[in-house]
Structure formats: C-alpha cells, structure tokens
Structure 1
Amino acid sequence: MRTLPIAAGLLALTIANVLPAQPAVITPGPVTAPKGMVSAADPRAAWAGAQILQQGGSALDAAFATLIALTVVEPQSSGIGGGGYMVYSPRGGPAVTFDGRETAPHAATNTWFFKNGQPMPTREAIPGGKSVGVPGNLRMMALAHSRFGKLPWAALFQPAIKLARDGFVMTPRMNRALASSIETGAMSAEARALYYAADGTPKPAGTLIQNPALAKFLGEVAARGADSFYVGPNAQAIVATVNGSPRNPSQMTTGDIATYDAKTRAPVCGMYRGYKICGMGPSSSGGTTVFTILKQLERFDMTALGPNSPTAWHLIAESMRLAYADRDQFIGDPGFVSVPVAGLIEAKYLARRSALISPDRTMTSVTAGSPLGAPKFVCKAVQPVERGTSHFVAVDSQGNVASDTSTIESPFGSGLMVNGYYLNNELTDFNIEPMKDGCLTANRVEGGKRPRSSMSPTIVWGPDGKIRLAVGAAGGATIPAQVAKAIIGVLDWHLTAQQAIALPTIFAPGGDTVYVEKGTFLETMVPQLQALGHTKIDYRQPISFKANAIEWANGRWAGAADPRSEGVAVSQ
C-alpha cells in the first residue's frame, strides 16, 4: 500500500517534528494492525489520532484529535473554522451520525449573494465575510464526545497544541495550495505572516511553521470547552472579522454563533449485494447519492466486467448521472425543505431508475425522478465545485469505528483568519440563484439554514454483520463518485481498500458531460466511451481527488490513503 508520495527526506523531517517517539507505525508501505488505526490526509494529523488511541482513547476521541490537528497542518482544507459530518459505529453496532454543518446568519436571504440586483459569480462571492457560515465542528465534537468519548476533552487538543506551538513542516501540497490560492490564502495579514515570505510568495516546502496564536486558542478551548468558541471573545472576533471584511462584508451576529446547534441525524442505510451501506443524511447529499449509485448498478454483473472494462465505467457514469440529477433536485437542509430520503433509496424506485441504464448506449438525457414523497415545488440547481476538504477514519481495539469528513470548503475558505485558524466559505455551497426554471430550489440561501454538502463519510458492514470498510473522500461534488468507486472496487472487484482508492475516478454529475481522471487508464478508454455515446468528455486533474479508508481484512485492520495525496495510515 502506497500511502505517502512525498520525498523520503521530507517525510523523515515531518515525522521527527510531530510528537515524541512512541510505538506507533507510520510507513509508506502496507499498514495493518490487530487493534487500532487512523487514516488521514496528513501524516501529522494521523499520528496525532494514533497517540490518542495509545492513551486509551476511543475511535471518536482519535478522530477528533485528528480533526484538531488538521486545523494546524492542513489549514487549506479543514479545521475548527469549518464544519463536517461523522458516521460512528459504537462497537461495530448500528450507525450514529452527527451533523456539524455550518449555518447561514439569520440575516441571510435568497439574494444574499446578489450585487446590483444580479447574482454574483461564485469566484467573486467566495473571498470575505458573506461566504462564512457559523462553524459547526466544535459543537459537533462536544455533542459526540459527551456520548462516546473516553478521554477527557482537553486530552484531544494536546497533539495539535504541540504542533502549533513547536512548529510543523510545510509540505509540497500545502505550498502548491498557497501558490494557487493567493487571493484567499494571503487575504488576512495574520495568514500572510504565517505562510508567505516578504516578497509575497509562499514559504518553500520544508519550512518550519509555528502558529502561536492558534496554540494559545486551542489551549483555551481545551480548558474551557466548546462553548468558549461560541460565546465570548472568539465569537466577537468572528463577527468583527466577517462584518468588517473589506470584501463582501457579512451581517453575522454573536447570537447567530451562540445559538448554533450540532445535530444527530438518522443515517441513510441500505443493502447492496448483501452488504449494509450507511452514510450521512441531509443536509449532506452523500448518503443518498452514494447508495443510489451503487443500488442502480446491482442488477449488472460488475464483478464479471472488472475494472479494465469500458462497459463497467460506462455503467458507473450512467448511474451517477441519475443519482446526481436526484441529488441536485431534492437535497437540502431538512429543517427548511422536505427531503424524500425514504423515496430516494426505496428499492422499487431505484429499480425503475436502473432500468433506464443500458450497457451498450447512453441515456439521451437525464432528469430527476419522482420518488415517493417528492415535493412538487423545487427545481434542480447544480452546486459549485470546491476542493478544501479532508476525510479521516479511526478504529480502536473495542471495535468502535469513526468515519469523519471535515471542510472549510474552498482552499483556505473565505481567506479570513481568527485566532490562527481560517474561517470557512461554506455559504457558497448554497445555490447563489434561488430560482431555477421559474421555481425555488431546495438549496437556496435562507437564514439559519445549512447548505447542501457532498461530504460522504460511509461505513460498510459485511453479510456477517461485522464492519468491512470505513471510507470517505475530499473533492467537492466528486466526493460521492470517489466513495462509490472505492466501494465498488472492494465489494465487486475484490480489491484491497488501497487498490480501490487508487483506481482512477470517473465523474458524471447529472448532465451530458463525463469527466475522466487525466493521466490514468480511463483516458485510454475514451474512444470506447465515446462509442457508447459519451460524446462530451472532459478531464479532471488527479490533485482534486483525496480519499482515506480503513478495512477489516484477514483478521486485521488495514489502512488506505490516496496516492494522489500526502495521506497515511498510522497503526496503534
């Protein structure tokens, strides 16, 4: 298993400056363990989670220590300034899901992102205050920790505090993100001082970065609890920063922050070839979309076709087109719109949708279906692309499993920084235009509402009732496509989780265009895909994909991290 594609010298330096030496395993080779393990997109964060496992923490404790550490070492993608979702299985039992998605200020309206009476381009709407939603990660952590945590709250913060105080090495991926996202990465003076040289260019890979402001703030939250983020000086600083932003000032209040609530949700679960698949329900579109892609393929012999068959990838693309059409039409915050979850995953409905798929030709056009309970007043609207997300998985010796996806949306979020962490730009995950084809969209902006998300933390149980796989990904709207592909790789093509994650990604988000991953064997299949009717083919760069997983195989946990990323698996 290839888990860390960064240079060996930088890897050694990275590990050396993470934490004191302990008997964990971190390696670019295969990582297996009979006890516990963490897989994450950054080695320092994975290592932080593994330390918590060694101290007797639960998988949930380890996942949250990983999340806090990502705030420090992967600020372009995740952290306490954003939100996320967790699917958790206590001792291998039924899934419990937690919703820490950000919310819009109560002053937000359908025309929140309008300027001079016209909708703003997404790129223009991202930087500054209006794109910032009330961060949800810490309230979600507190809610979940109160039920399933083993170690004290403060213990979860210690690895990240050390990283921020003593410093961490800038990786090539972070350097590239800083260079390509200067508009947001360097927007705040605090961020420029941390990550950029005097001439305005990013500090080079290998530079030791210290973030004392973040170390101090994390220490305060560790000592005082999550509420110290949502009331008092930090909440006041967020409000002052977003409302006083020179770009797109907001109208957030301290009341918006103080009243934020994380929520437990009903998981979205269904059966695929004898395996139970459980994911996140709305406001995430992940659970319904991943399951729909899979279930619509169940009548086809994907095992016989195998990963080298153009027909197999054609079928996956066609199933995605149908799944994303339903996603874009129906999914939104269930507190504001009626979401027909049961109808979307009903077997008879998906059998009807599957019947539209042919192995030897493409569908001429794709529209949303009519699932049971579907509202009649919402119209389809496609969500913009983003890349600022991170997924991580943790398992422990008691059989607890955590699959968590966390995000600040675009690289470096809104570009605004408070107390050493970036604030998200999640509100641009709403449909900037509230109307489409003469009717309101489910994912329009409204005060207090959670924007629709693509995050897809997922856990898979085998026919024996035991957990087989925990998986998730980063990459905006491509996330359900990456997760479904990985599950097909493991369950249908009998690959290891590492091999399945490493497979190239095909992405067909509802319309006529199919995207294939550039530089992979999918490119060589383009003529065959065109012959099947996919005439509109475009390409995605590998850097936009980033998945992590842990599977149970041969009596041991086996970690998997995307070879396109700097990710690793670390055993207890």
Structure 2
Amino acid sequence: MRRLLFSVSASLCLGLVPGCATAPVTKSDARPLQSPARTPTATGRGAAAATVDVHATSAAIEVLRSGGNAVDAAVAAASVLGVTDPYSCGIGGGGFMVVYLARDGRVVTLDHRETAPQALERSRLYGNGAPLPLEEFATSGLSVGVPGSLMGWSEALRLYGSRPLADVLQPAIRVAERGFEVDPTFVEQTRPNVERFRDFPSSAALFLGPDGQPWPVGSTLKNPDLAKTYRLISQGGVPVFYRGEIAQAIVSTVTRPPLAPGASRKVRPGVMQLSDLARYEALVRPPVTSTYRGYTLHGMGPPGSGGLTLALTLHLLEAHDPASLSRADFLHRYLEASRLAFADRNAFMGDPAFVSVPVSGLLSPDYAAQRRSALDVARASTAAAAPGNPLPFQEKAHAAPAPLPEVKRPASEELVLDKETTHITTSDAAGNIVAYTCTIEGSNGMVVPGYGFLLNNELTDFDLPATVDAPHPNAPAPGKRPRSSMSPLLVFKDGAPVLALGSPGGSTIITTVGQTLVNHLDFGMPIDQALAAPRVSQRNSPDARSQAEPEFIASPEAAALTALGHGFTDSGPVGALTAIRFHPDGTVTAAAEPRRRDGGSAMVVEPVR
C-alpha cells in the first residue's frame, strides 16, 4: 500500500548488521530512496512476510535475512508502519500478537491492548443523562487508553525474539528521517481528519500542507519527531516511554489537549496519570483453541472477541457440508451462523479481569449443537438474533443470563472509526510464525507535540448503555481493557502449520477472517484468491441486513441470497487481509490484499520461480 521512498537493495544497511546500527544520517544520504517493487503474492522457501506496506514488509524481510526470527521481523514491520501507516499502527496504540514457537510446538498470545486510566469513572462518558456523542467522545482525552504497543514489542522480543529493540527499530528510524511518498490511501485516510487536525497544531504540522489540506499524492512526508522518539526508545528502552519524558508528554496531551488558539471545538480533557503508564503490563495469555473440519485454530481470547466468535461461527457451520450445497446456500448458512455468534459475542465477551466470560461454554460442541437449532437453513432472519445461553455448558450449571441493555452504534459511525487497523504476518526458516494485528482505532486527532505519533481513541470500543449504571460486559471501568475484534489466527492440521492470517476493519475483522477461511478451506480457493474475493459481513445488525462490497452485491450469489430473504448494504471495501500459507512441500506463499487500500506487499527470502 505505502510506496515509501526507502530502498531494500541499495541501502539495506538498516542498523541490523554490525557497523550499521548507529550510522548517522548525513546530508548526502538523507534523500528519499526509490521504492522497492510491490507484489501482493510471493512463493518461496524459508522466511516470509506480508503487510499492507511495501517498506514494512521489506524491513521484516531484511531482519529475517540478517538472522532475525519471525518475532523480530513482526516488530520491525510494526515500527515502520508507525511511520508510514500512522492511522493504523504505532506506539500510541496497542495490539494482539499470536506466536507459534516451533521448537516448543506451542502457541502463545501477547495481549497489549490499551487500558482505561484508573481515574476514568463511567459517569465521565455521559452528559445530560445520555452517553456522549461518539464524535465528541472520540476526539477527546477521555477516549485515550494507556498505549500498549511499545510494551508489547518489548515483551515479545524479550520472551520470543532474538534481537534487541534498539536494533529492530532502525528501519523505522531511517524511513521516518528520509520520508515516504504519499499515496492515494494516505490521502483518503487523512481527508476525514482535516477539520480535527486543523484544531491541533501538532497534528496539522505533520499531516497537512501549508494550505491546510492533506499532502498531495506523490509528495514526500518525513517525520523527524518520530525518528527522535524511536531514538530515545532505542537509547533508554521502554522506561523512557512509560516513565520518562515521553510519558510526561502523553499525559500532558491527554489532560491538556493541545488545541489551536481560537479553535471552537469542545475537547474534553482526559484523566490519565503517569502512574497509569508506569503500571501498564503486556499479558501473555493462552490462545483460544478450536477445531473445524480436522483443522486446529488458535486465536486471541478475551478481551479479544475474534477467536471465540470465529470458533462459534465455524462450529455452527461445521454440520453443513459445502460439497453438497450450492455456494449461495452455504454462504446463507455462514451468514446466519455469524449472526448467532455475534449475538453471543455482544452478550458475553469483555475483559476477563472484570467479566466472567463463559469461554468453555461458548466453545462446547454441545452448545453449538443446541445453538444450531436457531439457524434457519431455508430463510434469512428478519431481525437481530437473541443470545443463547452457554452457561450450562461450563463446568458448573448456571441460570440463564439476564437480558442485557441494547447498545447501538450507527453503522456509518462504526465504519468511519474502525478502518484504521492493520495486520502483519511473518514466518522464519526455523518454523516460527507470527500473526499480529495492531491498531490505534481511528486516532483521536492528537499528535503528541514534539514526538510525532498519534494517540489512540480505543476507549470508544467500550459499550455505553443508555444509562450510566446499566450492566454490560464491555462497559468501561478503571483499568479495564475494551473488547476488541482483532482476530490474528493460526491454523494447523495434524500438528503442522497450514495458515496464518488476520485483517483490519473493526468488527468486520471477524467476518473477513471467517469468510477467507470459508473461501480457502471450504471452497478450495488458493489463498491469494481467497483474500481477493468480494466480501460480505453479517454481525447481527439490528436491521438484519448484511454489509457487503459492491462486487459481492453484484454477484450471482447475492442474487440467490436475496431470494432467501437476505438484504445488503453497500459498505465499500472491507478489510485488508494478509496471510502466509504453508504448503506440504515446505514452500510458503505470502499473500496480501491485491487492491484494497491500494494493495499490500508480500515477500519471501528465497523465491521459487
């Protein structure tokens, strides 16, 4: 996607090999470099990487070529995306990482989701007896969660990597200093933020030109402040971010939003304190493990909702044989299964430190068998599905759950806020694999002055019931992590890796990953075709309609589904998935979106012709 001015061939002295790590950027070598070629699919042996951005993928491959492992490569790619894709990834946000450790034959997950400040009382998010308007909440200090990305990177490298953080940050420092070429997607992501950025001088200085408009396509955008920030982290480690001068700057930005003089926008200050940053922890959690047609799937557990929602969707679908059904009939069952799974997601899933999530009940085959009775194979639902009751399928029986208050977010608002996430997939020659989804939500418009990175507005991922005291598993609370739809996933068969994948897209992440699995595992599409196929997303919408891309709405399958009672709303492009497919002959295919968000970048260390 990002056609950065950064060379993989002419100057791959990225600070990752002896003699390069601290080479200063001189006047002669500070010019932007030509972009490497971008291709969305690559097959070969050994290590591989796929991201939305050619330079993030290039950085990952260079780390792998120089002896780093898949974790090192994923962190290098993420730090570059913090420069080139700042609306989707960066040290102002957080993420979920799923890692396969080949030597041990086990999967671990690293939760570095943002947390609510300890002083955030739910009442602060209400005004005049109702939840704050989403735009007012999103563009405020109140929406900023304590950032987790940097702690996640540091812990991933400490526990599972082979390179120090200072080394893997070097490619990102080089890109930030030399600049990248603004492409149409960058302009498209900047344009909706123009009015907000104008109100924050630190943001306008980075993202808007002298005319107050987005930098035009083809211009070179540099970020020396972020290069400085990465250097500070390289020298001082994560303490400089969580306890030192960067922490001070984050708290100042959140509690005293840096509005331009005369700006009329009402920006509520947040309540984050230095102690919130100092106590932040990235958490190693067990994966959510499920099965589907002989495959084993490992994903994120709570506060992630993707692993459980995908597992339930596929458990509901597993009873239906795709070989005996038309594609439209099978997609009907997939959409209805997704509708039921999302009803359970919304009713039961939240931060496990605050909510007792019935994980084993939701994963129970017996629960899926009972829940499947609500799936009408002949007609589409005409209303939102009610949640089931997985609680009796836990180790101990429980009463049926009390009805929860309905929480609605207009689809138009959700789409605006939920586009800005990205996914990185890497593997190495030793067999280690990383599926890593990172995000800043939609940003809250505020660049930390002098440090060059946007802050997240992830606390908008909490649900705000109509009244301040109404119960909800995903209601905000001090120190709580908001529920996330990020769905990094690893797929195995008979103990061997088959597929690693993930996507951006807010709550459509879950359905994007789910439909890609259906395309590949059930319909037999090669992985690049499975990624490229038109998408449809059913998330138990109140109007019962599914969101879909125009290409899907125009397809014969959509016409057949319409005859079954389905309705579709044009959502525009959905997701921007990346994946690595592991073949029985030892080769791998790295794949990225071929066209959404201007297409992605996939590379392998040893190409096969």
* 2:580 alignment partner in structure 1: 550
| SS, match of residue 454 in structure 1 | coil
How far 1:503 sits from its partner (Å)? 1.5
Taking structure 1 as reference, are residues 318 and 65 closer, same or farther at Cα in structure 2, changes over 3 Å only?
Answer: same
How far 1:233 sits from its partner (Å)? 0.9
Separation in 2, partners of 1:275, 1:25: 36
TM score, norm. by length of structure 2? 0.87
How far 1:198 sits from its partner (Å)? 1.3
How far 1:196 sits from its partner (Å)? 1.2
Taking structure 1 as reference, are residues 64 and 382 closer, same or farther at Cα in structure 2, changes over 3 Å only?
Answer: farther
Mapped contact 2:7–2:36 kept (Cα < 8 A): no
**Structure 2 residues not aligned, in runs of 5+:** 15-34, 260-266
How far 1:358 sits from its partner (Å)? 2.9
Match of 2:401 among 365, 376, 389: 376
* 2:339 alignment partner in structure 1: 321
Match of 1:406 among 428, 432, 438: 438
Match of 1:36 among 38, 47, 58: 47
Residue by residue over 1:116-167, the C-alpha shift from the partner in whole angstroms, topping out at 9 and shown as x without a partner, is: 3321121221112111000001111222211111112211100000000111
* 1:236 alignment partner in structure 2: 248
Taking structure 1 as reference, are residues 51 and 303 closer, same or farther at Cα in structure 2, changes over 3 Å only?
Answer: farther
Taking structure 1 as reference, are residues 187 and 472 closer, same or farther at Cα in structure 2, changes over 3 Å only?
Answer: farther
* 1:166 alignment partner in structure 2: 178
1:175 correspondence with 2:187: yes
Separation in 2, partners of 1:145, 1:138: 11
Taking structure 1 as reference, are residues 83 and 387 closer, same or farther at Cα in structure 2, changes over 3 Å only?
Answer: same
Same amino acid, percent of matched pairs: 36
* 2:318 alignment partner in structure 1: 298
CA-atom RMSD, angstroms?
A: 2.3
Separation in 1, partners of 2:519, 2:199: 41
| SS, match of residue 356 in structure 2 | coil
> Residue type matched to 2:345 in 1?
R
Residue by residue over 1:4-58, the C-alpha shift from the partner in whole angstroms, topping out at 9 and shown as x without a partner, is: 6x8xxxx5x7454897259999542640121101100111111111111111111
1:20 correspondence with 2:11: yes
Separation in 1, partners of 2:125, 2:8: 43
How far 1:413 sits from its partner (Å)? 3.9
| SS, match of residue 474 in structure 1 | coil
1:64 correspondence with 2:95: no
Separation in 2, partners of 1:94, 1:26: 35
Match of 2:365 among 336, 347, 353: 347
Aligned pairs for 1:506-521 within 5 A:
506-511=536-541, 512-521=543-552
Aligned pairs for 1:410-559 within 5 A:
410=442, 412-418=443-449, 419-433=451-465, 435=467, 439-462=470-493, 464-511=494-541, 512-524=543-555, 525-534=557-566, 536-542=567-573, 544-553=574-583, 554-559=585-590
How far 1:112 sits from its partner (Å)? 2.8
Separation in 2, partners of 1:540, 1:414: 24
Match of 2:348 among 311, 326, 330: 330
Task: Please identify the structure whose Cα radius of gyration is greater.
Answer: 2
Match of 1:264 among 267, 284, 288: 284
* 1:88 alignment partner in structure 2: 99
Mapped contact 2:38–2:54 kept (Cα < 8 A): no
**Structure 1 residues not aligned, in runs of 5+:** none
Aligned length: 556
How far 1:439 sits from its partner (Å)? 4.2
How far 1:191 sits from its partner (Å)? 2.3
* 2:601 alignment partner in structure 1: 568
* 1:155 alignment partner in structure 2: 167
Taking structure 1 as reference, are residues 18 and 45 closer, same or farther at Cα in structure 2, changes over 3 Å only?
Answer: farther
TM score, norm. by length of structure 1? 0.92
Mapped contact 2:353–2:480 kept (Cα < 8 A): yes
Residue by residue over 1:57-96, the C-alpha shift from the partner in whole angstroms, topping out at 9 and shown as x without a partner, is: 1100100111111110001111110000000001172210
Taking structure 1 as reference, are residues 329 and 133 closer, same or farther at Cα in structure 2, changes over 3 Å only?
Answer: same
Mapped contact 1:86–1:99 kept (Cα < 8 A): yes
Taking structure 1 as reference, are residues 382 and 483 closer, same or farther at Cα in structure 2, changes over 3 Å only?
Answer: farther
Separation in 1, partners of 2:523, 2:106: 26
How far 1:415 sits from its partner (Å)? 3.1
> Residue type matched to 2:488 in 1?
P
Residue by residue over 1:417-474, the C-alpha shift from the partner in whole angstroms, topping out at 9 and shown as x without a partner, is: 34100000000111123659x9401111101100010000000002x31100000000
Match of 1:285 among 295, 305, 330: 305
| SS, match of residue 340 in structure 2 | helix
Separation in 1, partners of 2:88, 2:72: 21
Separation in 2, partners of 1:297, 1:266: 25
Separation in 2, partners of 1:274, 1:253: 49
